A and B are shown apart, each in its own frame.
Chain A
Amino acid sequence: MQTVRLALHAMATRFELVLHGEDAVYLRAAGEEALAEIKRLHRRLSVYDPTSEVSHINRNASETPVEINRNLFSLLQMASDLHHSTDGAFDITVGPLMRCWGFMGDSGSWPEEAQRKEALEKTGMDKVELDDSTCTIAFKRDGMAIDLGAIGKGYAIEEATTLLQECGITSALLHGGTSTMAAIGTPSPDEDGWPIGIADPLDQSHVLTSTTIRDEAFSVSAPHGKAFQKDNKIWGHVIDPRHGYPIQGPALSAVVHSSATVCDGISTALLAMNQTEVNKIAQKFNGMRILCAYSDNNVLNLVSNGFINKFKDSQ
C-alpha cells in the first residue's frame, strides 16, 4: 500500500489531498488532475478575478440576462435550492450587506439605517432570475452581485472527488482549509471511515467530538474572524440576509452529507439559525448529520442530529 500527499493553494485556502493505493505514480497523476480541477474552478468562480465567469455575471446581469455555462447554471440552481431549503438563511447575494456593514476588507462598523435598507434591497436570491430554457442569469436590481464563497470550496471538492472516482481511486481524503472535506472509501480496509475531530469553539486545543466519514463529505463553520464592538456587545461578521443584521447563532456548526457542496452551504446557513430552525433543516435533508454548538456564558449548548459519539441526539 502506497500513500501520496498533494497540496494546492486556491480559493484563499490550502487544499490537501491524501491518496492510498498500489501505484504511487498513478495516485499522484490522479491527484494532480483533481487539484487541477480545483484550480480551474477557482479561476471560474473567483469574485476577485475580473476574467472569471462570476465577475462577468456581476458586471452584466443587472443590465441584461447573461448566458452562462450549463454546469455553472446548475451550481447557481443548487444555490437557489439551498436558499429556499434554509428559508433564506443561505444567500449568495449577501455581498452588498457585507460591504454595508464594513466586513469587506475591514473589521466592520454599524451602518446608517438608510444604508442598511438600501443594501437589503440589493440582497436576496428572490431577486435573481435563473432561466433554465436560455441558461441565463439576470439581476432584478442594480448593484446586485453574487459571491459563491460559501459553497465554492465544497463544489470544487465535490467535482475533484468525482474526477478521482473516475480515475478509479478507492481511498482518498480531500480537504480545503480543514473546514470542508470529502472522503472516498476508508483509509485502510479494517477501518470504518476517515476519522474527523471537531475542535471545541471555546477551546481550540480541546476536541469537542469526533466522527468518521466514508464516501461522504463534511463541513464545519464558525463565526471566527471579523467583529466590532458596540453598546458593550460584540457584533460578528455573520449577517442574516433576511433582516440585514449581524446575528448571534451557534458558535460552531458541522454537517455530514453525501454532497460537499450541500455540506458547505448548509454549515454556513446554520450560523444564522436558532435551535428550532436547525432541527427543521435536519428533517429536510435525508441522511444529513448536523451538530450545532450554541455558547451561553461560555457554556456550550449542543444541538445534534446523527453525531453519535458524545452527545445524545436532540431528536
Chain B
Amino acid sequence: MTGKNVSRRAFLMGGAVLSGAGLVRAAKIKTRAWPGNRNDVNCGIIGYGPRGREITETLARVPGARVSAICDTYAPMLRRAQRDVPEATQHQDYREILDNADIQAVIIATPTHLHHDIVINALDAGKNIYCEAPMASSIDDAKSIARAARDAPNQIFQVGQIYRSNPQHLSVFQFMRSGAIGKPAVARGQWHAKESWRRASPNADRVRELNWRLDPEVSLGLIGESALLQMDVAYWVLGELPSSVHGFGQIMLWDDGREIPDTIQTIFEFPSGLHMIFDATLASSYEDAYEVYMGSNSTIVFRDRGKAWMFKEVDSLMLGWEVYARKDRFYKETGIALLANATQLDAQNLDPTEDDPNVETPLWYAMQEFMDNHAFGPYPPTANWERGLEATAIAVIANQAILERSHKKIDPLFYTLD
C-alpha cells in the first residue's frame, strides 16, 4: 500500500500565504507522499486518560505515525488500551517506553504536574517529545523543561498549544497582523461549560489521582487547565505578551468541599495598553468558548474551535473579496466568514464560501506537524519550548491572581531563560 499524503505545511513553516485576491485565503497546500515506509515513527503514549485516547485516535489518521506502546498507571486504562490498539504494548512504568530504542517519539498526556520528570527523562533517553499543554504546573518546572529542550536541539520538543498549527488560525493570524481590524481596542474571551470537573473511580487512591485538577497544590485551575489554548491564541494574534493580570475566583455552583474556584474572571493588561477580559465557569455552558478582538475597523470572533468571522464597522473600507465571501447572521449582526484554504477549494471546483470538506481537527494538524518534523526536521516547532514557557508563566501568575483575588505583575524574566 502506498503512503498517505503528508502536508508540507510545516516544512514551509506555516505556509498559509495570503493571496492578493482574498486576504483571508490561504495558499493551496501542497502534499506529497510520506517518505520511506508507511508508519515510520513508532510513538509511545504516556497517559491514557481522555486526552491520551483522543491523541491515539487522531494518530491513527496521521501519516507517518504508529502507536507502538501505551503507558498508564491504572490497570483499567491499560485494558482499554489493549482493546483500542491491540498491536501496542502496555506499560505501567513509562521508563519501559523510554528504554525501548525502537520508540522514536513519546506523547505525554499525563496530569500537568507530572510532565516535568517524564520530559527530562525522555530527553535524556533521546526521544522526540510532544508534551500536552500546559507544559508544566510551575514556572520552575517550565524553565527546567525549557532549558533541557533548548539544550537538545537535535530532538523535537513540541508543546500541545495546538492552535499554533491550525491552518484556520494561521490564516486569520496573518489577516489580523495585516491590520484588518484597525486599531485594536478591546479583547474578550470565555470558556464556559456545565460540569463538575470531578472524576470517579471505585478505587479511593485512584480518585485522588484522577482529581488532580481540584488539588490546589498542583492544579493551575480553569485558566491553566481549560482556557490556556485560547489565551495562547490571544497573545499570539495580538503580538505581545501580557504584563499583568487581575484575577477573581469564586465557587458558584459546585460547593462540594473543593478549594479551586468553579468560576473565574481575569483582566490581562498588555504593554500596548490593550486589556483582555477572560472569564471561565463550570456552572453554565452558555455560549461555550470564544474570543473576540475588537478594533476600530472591524471585530474578529473565533469560535467553534477555530472558525472565525469578521464584523465590520460601517465606516470601514470595503474589501474587494468580501463581496464573494460567505455571510452568516448572528442575531442582528452579519459576520463575514474567514475561511482558510478558500483558494484550494476554488481550484477543486468546490464552493470556496463553504467550510472546507477536507478540514481536520486542530489536534490532527498539531500531530501532523509533529510527524512532519520527523521526516524533514528537526526544526523548532511552531509551539516550541519558548511558547510553552510563556504559556505556563501566564497560567501560573494568572492562577495566583485568581486564588488571591489580586493584581499581579508578570515579570518579563518569567518568559525567558536566564
Contact = CB atoms under 8 A, between A and B. Distances in A.
Interface of A: 25-26, 28-30, 32-33, 36, 40, 44, 50-51, 53, 55-56, 59, 64-65, 67-71, 134, 166-168
A166 B83 CA distance: 15
B20 interface: no
Contacts of B355: 50
A67 B198 contact: no
B36 interface: no
B175 to A, nearest CB: 22
Given A40-B50, A51-B359, A69-B85, 13 more contacts: A29-B199, A32-B195, A32-B196, A36-B50, A36-B195, A50-B359, A53-B61, A64-B1, A65-B1, A68-B60, A69-B60, A167-B201, A168-B201
Given A70-B85, A167-B201, A51 B364 contact: yes
B37 interface: no
A148 to B, nearest CB: 15
Contacts of B356: 50
A161 to B, nearest CB: 14
A61 to B, nearest CB: 13
Given A25-B256, A53-B61, A59-B358, A40 B54 contact: yes
A56 B200 contact: no
B351 interface: no
The number of chain B residues touching the other chain, given as a range, is 20 to 34
A25 B196 contact: yes
Contact of A33 (B83, B86, B200): B200
A209 B358 CA distance: 47
Nearest to A168: B202
A29 B200 contact: yes
B209 interface: no
B199 A33 contact: yes
Given A69-B84, A70-B86, A53 B200 contact: no
10 interchain residue pairs of minimum CB distance: A168-B202, A29-B198, A30-B200, A29-B200, A167-B200, A51-B361, A69-B60, A25-B256, A50-B359, A69-B57
Contacts of A56: 61
A215 B1 CA distance: 44
22 contacts: A25-B196, A25-B198, A29-B196, A29-B199, A29-B200, A30-B200, A33-B199, A36-B50, A36-B195, A40-B54, A50-B359, A51-B359, A51-B361, A56-B61, A69-B56, A69-B60, A71-B84, A134-B1, A166-B76, A167-B201, A168-B201, A168-B202
B357 interface: yes
Interface string B163-204: 000000000000000000000000000000001101111100
Contacts, number: 64
B57 A26 contact: no
Nearest to B1: A65
Contacts of B360: 51
Decide if the interface of chain A is mainly helix, strand, loop or mixed.
helix
Contacts of A36: 50, 195
Nearest to B257: A25
B196 A28 contact: yes
Contacts of A168: 200-202
A32 B198 contact: yes
Interface in B360-418: 360-361, 364
Interface string B331-372: 000000000000000000000000111111100100000000
B68 to A, nearest CB: 14
A64 B4 CA distance: 9
A51 B62 CA distance: 13
Contacts of B2: 64
B198 A71 contact: no
Contacts of A67: 60-61
A32 B199 CA distance: 8
Contacts of A64: 1-2
Contact of A167 (B60, B202, B359, B364): B202
Contacts of B54: 40
A65 B4 CA distance: 10
Given A68-B60, A69-B84, A50 B357 contact: yes
A300 B327 CA distance: 51
Most buried by A among B56, B200, B201: B200
A32 B357 CA distance: 31
Nearest to A164: B200
Contacts of B358: 50, 59
Nearest to A162: B80
A268 to B, nearest CB: 26
A274 to B, nearest CB: 38
B63 to A, nearest CB: 10
A161 B359 CA distance: 32
A69 B65 CA distance: 13
Contacts of A33: 199-200
Contacts of A69: 56-57, 60, 84-85
B106 to A, nearest CB: 20
B60 A59 contact: no
A87 B202 CA distance: 43
Most A CB contacts (10 A, CB to CB) among B50, B56, B57 go to: B57
A310 B5 CA distance: 60
